Structure 1
């Protein structure tokens, strides 16, 4: 799940970089336009100001929402981690623990 969240965040970051590049390019086109040619300048301003910057803002909001929805890892102390490790040993060595649970535990720990 964390890997999937990271992939989504990376994709959104790439989209943001592309949108910022497009906004910068649109601004440069607008800035280079002859102010006397109002129709061209107005269209270039529309591309830059409304479309490109709106897209940048939308992607930034999506990244913010994504980051806000990402659960923060809990800070465990060394004592808590040691206690969890002891619990794992107890579960592992208990005669009632099925082999299926042990295999699942091994698979879970090997994917991290």
Structure 2
């Protein structure tokens, strides 16, 4: 996380589309991981301060969590004209990348209860 550059210092990478043979889209890969989550389990991805995700991660780093998460758990959605970080915890493959890679160390990964 200490090596992450701000968005203004980088140019966007134009990744090729998944070909379905050698490379696959994120959601198909999450499906193949065959993980299950209990609907009523406590959140295992906790933000220490949700506003930091917009004030710092979104504005200064262009929301890197939307790119470094291999399962597409983190997503920026527009709500009433303002960006908001949405966490799709059921997609989580428990790699813990978000806990270590977040530039503000604002995401805490907690081992989920039950399920797989």
TM range (shorter): under 0.3
Higher strand share: 2
Which of 1 and 2 has higher RCO (CA within 8 Å, sep 6+)?
2
Structure number, greater radius of gyration: 1
TM-score normalized with structure 1 length: 0.21
